[in-house]
């Protein structure tokens, strides 16, 4: 008999990185790598479940920047070229390594994977959003949105600006998926008092918080993190993260991805192979970097030079074992919770989607085994979507969640510390000027001034892009910091320049066109979301 439910939430996000002004741009790799390693493989396993009648449930947040990149013709074509090159390299590798086991088997794995990616990519005419729309229609996958550009809501200057972020998300979701989003992923799970009111206004029914968002809520949560709650007055449902499952996958020492049989991320042919051979697959600057083919396994706590060769069969077996272990632990956890509760508990596991495939190469295989095992091998718990659980249990405790985030230490420090606190002065100023401009020029637009309308829309785009929490995050983590500085400065200075042109009534059309061409996120932008 079913004793409870498991809700898997995968957060799919990348900042909007698109540089038409360069033929080749390093940071665009984030998108191309995640496409090959995570997004396409995940779609592929979900389609596999459908073909084999495996009953599964996955909740996916697809952030607006990611959806906009997937829908962008330039990036679609660039990815096609990148993937073609990767296939060419994999084919060369299969030839080079013939007869050399276990390297040959691994090369074959890459060749097959890349070719399958291409097949799926072409099936959907290079636009993965079509694939997600299909999945959404099956009712087994819930796709939720995320506030506009993954802006960090608690550190914005006003509810008016926060509201615009959420409205943009809803608008974008509607154009991409043909209906309103039921749920939202607040960027970084960052909740602050009053955000639920905005969500309610936008018709959003549920969101997610870190465990202490509910545990530290008021009054005391009756079911801990194992049942949703409703926010007071607004009645938006809130689900909190289960720490046990987070720990099982993430922990540096007991987490699955660190297993010795799994692929080592840092030992890449981009560094290992002879320079002239690998050169055509590097960026145009010719600097050695990861290209995405790796032949070694984690091995243990040894140096990169001491890594042992990867054996695909061992890794697959290990993914199956780990899936079994994960399922066993859920059975145990859910059975126990059911004994102490007067209702069926829900265990919510939230992960960055890019963990599966990009960092943990075997992650998609793990999920593939896991859902199949859950379907065929046990009947203690079932996977579920948030809305399904709310239908089953519409009556829930009313509780004021605590302000929190899922970042390091659980609050806002990752996005507000000595490395990035300087950005808020500028962001807040732009937020203020955005509202002021909309108030001042909306009447002109209503009277037919289309140029001012374009300026207001572009101001909104520049502001949203500047607000991406990714820049503050990167400044904290300390890698690629220069790019994060550059993007923050770029969008703030574009904003200010355009604002002054608007105010002084001497709009430089060429400059505006340039910005519209370069920072083209949200083609459906409508600045009235700020009203």
Residues 8-37 close enough to bind other proteins by CB under 8 A: 20-26
Binding to other proteins by residue 480, rule CB under 8 A? yes
CA angle 206, 210, 214 (to 5 degrees): 75
Select the span of 42-50, 117-125, 168-176, 222-230 touching other proteins (CB under 8 A). 222-230
Q: Quick one: which of 343, 514, 526, 528 contacts other proteins (CB under 8 A)?
A: 514
CA dist., res. 89 & res. 93, Å (int) = 6
Distance of CA 37 to the CA centre of its chain: 13
Binding to other proteins by residue 359, rule CB under 8 A? yes
Query: What's the burial of 284, exposed, middle or buried (CB within 10 Å: 0-12/13-18/19+)?
Result: exposed
**CB of 413 vs other proteins, minimal distance in Å:** 5
Total residues contacting other proteins (rule CB under 8 A)?
108
**Under 8 Å CB-to-CB from 259, ≥6 apart: which residues?**
298, 318, 322
Q: Is the dihedral of CA 364, 366, 370, 376 positive or negative?
A: positive
CA dist., res. 153 & res. 340, Å (int) = 36
Instruction: Restricting to residues 445-474, name those near other proteins by CB under 8 A.
Output: 473-474
CA dist., res. 520 & res. 234, Å (int) = 34
Select the span of 50-58, 366-374, 399-407, 456-464 touching other proteins (CB under 8 A). 399-407
**CB of 203 vs other proteins, minimal distance in Å:** 26
Identify which of residues 47 and 308 has a Cβ nearer to other proteins in the complex: 308
Identify which of residues 348 and 438 has a Cβ nearer to other proteins in the complex: 348
Identify which of residues 222 and 375 has a Cβ nearer to other proteins in the complex: 222
Q: How many helices (H) and strands (E) does the chain have?
A: 20, 9
Instruction: Restricting to residues 68-107, name those near other proteins by CB under 8 A.
Output: 73-74, 77
**CB of 359 vs other proteins, minimal distance in Å:** 5
Q: Quick one: which of 32, 80, 124, 216 contacts other proteins (CB under 8 A)?
A: 216
Select the span of 102-110, 140-148, 374-382, 403-411 touching other proteins (CB under 8 A). 403-411
Q: Quick one: which of 479, 504, 505, 506 contacts other proteins (CB under 8 A)?
A: 479
CB atoms within 10 A of CB 510: 8
- CA-to-CA dists, residue 27 to 14, 164, 200, 281, 481, angstroms: 11, 27, 36, 16, 12
Instruction: Restricting to residues 260-319, name those near other proteins by CB under 8 A.
Output: 265-266, 283-285, 287, 289, 301-305
Binding to other proteins by residue 325, rule CB under 8 A? no
Q: Quick one: which of 117, 237, 414, 455 contacts other proteins (CB under 8 A)?
A: 414
CB of 282 within 8 A of CB of 289?
yes
Beta strands 237-240 and 229-230: pairing type? antiparallel
Select the span of 127-135, 310-318, 377-385, 515-523 touching other proteins (CB under 8 A). 515-523
Identify which of residues 136 and 215 has a Cβ nearer to other proteins in the complex: 215
Select the span of 87-95, 105-113, 211-219, 308-316 touching other proteins (CB under 8 A). 211-219
Binding to other proteins by residue 193, rule CB under 8 A? yes
Binding to other proteins by residue 493, rule CB under 8 A? yes
**CB of 373 vs other proteins, minimal distance in Å:** 21
Binding to other proteins by residue 120, rule CB under 8 A? no
Binding to other proteins by residue 410, rule CB under 8 A? yes
Identify which of residues 131 and 211 has a Cβ nearer to other proteins in the complex: 211
CA dist., res. 280 & res. 286, Å (int) = 8
Identify which of residues 135 and 346 has a Cβ nearer to other proteins in the complex: 346
**CB of 134 vs other proteins, minimal distance in Å:** 25
Residue from 246, 144, 153, 228 nearest 191 by CA? 153
Sequential DSSP letters for 172-189:
HHHHHHSS--SEEE-GGG
Residue from 297, 291, 258, 250 nearest 106 by CA? 297
CB of 263 within 8 A of CB of 296?
yes
Q: Which two tokens stand for residue 138?
A: 């099956």
Q: Quick one: which of 63, 205, 404, 467 contacts other proteins (CB under 8 A)?
A: 404
Instruction: Restricting to residues 145-184, name those near other proteins by CB under 8 A.
Output: 154-155, 157
Identify which of residues 101 and 413 has a Cβ nearer to other proteins in the complex: 413
Q: Quick one: which of 96, 98, 123, 220 contacts other proteins (CB under 8 A)?
A: 220
Binding to other proteins by residue 507, rule CB under 8 A? no
Q: Quick one: which of 30, 250, 271, 328 contacts other proteins (CB under 8 A)?
A: 250
Helix (H, G, I), strand (E, B) or coil at 110: helix
Binding to other proteins by residue 52, rule CB under 8 A? no
**CB of 490 vs other proteins, minimal distance in Å:** 5
Q: Which two tokens stand for residue 181?
A: 């989003």
Sequential DSSP letters for 261-311:
TSBPTT--HHHHS-HHHHGGGS-TT------S---BB--SS--GGGPPBP-
Helix (H, G, I), strand (E, B) or coil at 252: coil
Binding to other proteins by residue 504, rule CB under 8 A? no
């Amino acid at each position: 008999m079913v004793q409870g439910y498991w809700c898997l939430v995968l957060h799919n996000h990348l900042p909007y990185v698109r540089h038409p002004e360069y033929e080749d741009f390093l940071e665009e790799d984030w998108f191309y790598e995640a496409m090959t390693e995570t997004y396409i493989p995940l779609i592929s396993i979900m389609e596999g479940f459908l073909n084999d009648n495996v009953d599964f449930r996955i909740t996916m947040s697809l952030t607006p920047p990611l959806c906009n990149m997937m829908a962008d013709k330039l990036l679609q074509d660039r990815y096609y070229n990148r993937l073609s090159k990767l296939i060419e390299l994999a084919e060369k590798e299969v030839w080079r390594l013939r007869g050399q086991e276990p390297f040959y088997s691994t090369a074959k794995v890459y060749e097959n994977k890349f070719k399958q990616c291409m097949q799926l990519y072409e099936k959907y005419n290079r636009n993965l959003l079509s694939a997600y729309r299909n999945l959404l229609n099956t009712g087994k996958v819930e796709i939720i949105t995320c506030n506009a550009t993954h802006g960090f809501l608690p550190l914005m200057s006003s509810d008016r600006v926060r509201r615009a972020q959420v409205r943009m998300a809803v608008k974008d979701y509607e154009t991409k998926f043909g209906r309103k989003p039921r749920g939202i992923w607040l960027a970084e799970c960052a909740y602050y008092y009053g955000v639920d009111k905005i969500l309610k206004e936008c018709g959003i029914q549920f969101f997610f918080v870190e465990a202490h968002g509910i545990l530290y809520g008021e009054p005391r949560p009756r079911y801990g993190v194992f049942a949703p709650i409703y926010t007071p007055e607004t009645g938006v449902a809130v689900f909190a993260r289960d720490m046990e499952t987070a720990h099982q996958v993430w922990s540096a020492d007991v987490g699955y991805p660190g297993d010795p049989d799994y692929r080592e991320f840092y030992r890449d042919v981009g560094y290992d192979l002879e320079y002239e051979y690998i050169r055509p697959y590097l960026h145009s600057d010719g600097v050695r970097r990861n290209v995405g083919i790796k032949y070694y396994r984690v091995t243990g706590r040894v140096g990169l030079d001491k890594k042992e060769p990867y054996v695909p069969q061992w890794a697959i077996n290990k993914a199956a074992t780990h899936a079994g272990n994960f399922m066993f632990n859920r059975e145990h956890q859910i059975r126990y919770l059911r004994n102490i509760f007067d209702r069926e508990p829900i265990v919510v596991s939230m992960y960055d989607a890019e963990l599966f495939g990009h960092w943990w190469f075997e992650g998609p295989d793990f999920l593939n085994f896991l859902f199949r095992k859950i379907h065929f091998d046990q009947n203690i718990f079932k996977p579920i979507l948030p809305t399904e659980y709310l239908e089953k249990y519409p009556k829930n405790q009313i509780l004021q969640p605590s302000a929190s985030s899922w970042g390091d230490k659980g609050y806002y420090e990752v996005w507000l510390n000595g490395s990035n606190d300087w950005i808020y002065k500028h962001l807040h100023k732009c937020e203020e000027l955005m509202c002021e401009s909309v108030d001042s020029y909306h009447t002109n637009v209503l009277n037919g001034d289309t140029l001012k309308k374009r300026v207001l829309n572009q101001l909104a785009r520049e502001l949203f892009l500047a607000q991406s929490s990714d820049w503050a995050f990167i400044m904290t983590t300390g890698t690629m910091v220069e790019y994060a500085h550059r993007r923050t400065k770029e969008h703030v200075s574009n904003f200010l320049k355009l604002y002054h042109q608007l105010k002084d009534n001497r709009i430089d059309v060429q400059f505006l066109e340039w910005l519209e061409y370069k920072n083209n996120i949200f083609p459906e932008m409508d600045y009235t979301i700020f009203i």
